[in-house]
């Protein structure tokens, strides 16, 4: 139950993260005017998405914000076209725009959004998990993108037997008996695909679904009844720890120049959860 809750929390986190990114339009806050001789320096903080620039203008009010005059023209600094998010300031040379400055003075910084197009990149990546260390992911990332991924373990032999409990009879054709040893292994296959979102200049999230199989194996040693000698070894599927069906996953990707590093979690039927990782190259 704990693993199931963890996976659900992760998917909810990714959903709300992408939703908040979509809804997070520009926001101007911390507007603070400071007088400097005949100039007034208006400090402000501009919060925005990674792919937004702004056309910024400055207005002022003499009546506490009921009415505003502007846009002001005798301004320099972080004003005009091409302004990006961050801690910015505008310098207003007051008496080039007005003869006097009296009243209940309030400033208003206004920003018109200039949305930049987000370029798309293909990414080819090695991907794997603790139980499926061999894999490949192909993705196209951008504001919204896609990916497909396949991962597998190192055991490719399908077991001939399935364990059936304490009184289990394998149904040997010859006079043999078995003993379980301490060797355990698993067969693992994961084929998934889904959507990627770009939440920052170099930060992405992804979530997807597909088919997953995790087969837990025990090894048994075979012995001949007459000679009591060992005749071979076989893997037996343990059904209580074997899961197949829907596989759901989610995670994050970080871009460093052309290198992509990813990490996340995946779950088969929300019963078996594992950590995933990857490293790839954008082109």
Q: What is the pLDDT of residue 150?
A: 98
The sign one gets for the Cα dihedral 32, 35, 38, 41 is negative
Rounded distance, CA 92 to CA 94, Å? 5
pLDDT of residue 191: 98
Domain coordinates in residue numbering, the chain: 28-115, 119-282
Q: What is the dihedral of CA 90, 95, 98, 99, to 10 degrees?
A: 160
pTM, two decimals, is: 0.72
DSSP state of 160: S
* pLDDT value of position 115: 85
Q: Which helix (H) or strand (E) holds 218?
A: strand 203-224
**CATH architecture of residue range(s) 119-282:** Beta Barrel (2.40)
Output the CA–CA distances (angstroms, integers) from residue 23 to 153, 162, 203, in the order listed: 40, 52, 17
One digit per residue, the tens of pLDDT, for the chain of length 283 reads 444 444 444 444 444 444 444 444 568 999 999 999 999 999 999 998 888 899 999 999 999 999 999 999 999 999 999 999 999 999 999 999 999 889 999 999 999 998 888 889 999 999 999 899 999 999 999 999 999 999 999 988 889 899 998 889 998 878 999 999 999 999 999 999 999 999 988 999 999 999 999 999 999 999 999 999 999 999 999 999 999 999 999 999 999 999 999 999 999 999 999 999 999 999 9
Q: Determine the pLDDT at residue 5.
A: 43
């Amino acid at each position: 139950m704990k693993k199931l809750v963890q996976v659900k929390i992760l998917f909810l986190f990714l959903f709300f993260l992408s939703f908040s990114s979509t809804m997070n339009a520009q926001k101007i806050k911390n507007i603070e005017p400071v007088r400097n001789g005949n100039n007034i320096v208006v400090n402000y903080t501009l919060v925005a998405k990674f792919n937004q620039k702004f056309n910024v203008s400055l207005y002022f009010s003499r009546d506490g914000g009921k009415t505003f005059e502007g846009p002001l023209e005798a301004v320099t600094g972080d004003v005009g076209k091409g302004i990006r998010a961050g801690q910015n300031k505008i310098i207003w040379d007051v008496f080039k725009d007005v003869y006097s400055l009296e009243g209940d003075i309030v400033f208003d910084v206004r920003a018109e959004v200039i949305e930049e197009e987000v370029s798309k990149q293909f990414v080819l990546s090695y991907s794997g998990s603790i139980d499926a260390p061999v894999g490949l992911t192909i993705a196209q990332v951008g504001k919204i993108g896609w990916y497909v991924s396949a991962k597998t373990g190192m055991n490719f032999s399908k077991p001939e037997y399935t364990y059936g409990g304490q009184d289990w009879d394998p149904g040997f054709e010859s006079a043999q008996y078995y003993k379980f040893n301490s060797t355990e292994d698993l067969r693992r296959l994961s084929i998934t695909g889904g959507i990627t979102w770009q939440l920052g200049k170099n930060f992405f999230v992804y979530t997807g679904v597909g088919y997953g199989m995790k087969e837990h194996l025990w090894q048994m040693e075979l012995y001949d009844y007459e000679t009591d000698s060992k005749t071979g070894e076989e893997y037996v599927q343990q059904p209580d720890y074997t899961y197949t069906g829907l596989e759901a996953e989610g995670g994050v990707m970080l871009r460093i120049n052309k290198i992509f590093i990813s990490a996340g979690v995946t779950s088969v039927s929300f019963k078996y959860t594992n950590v995933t990782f990857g490293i790839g190259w954008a082109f």
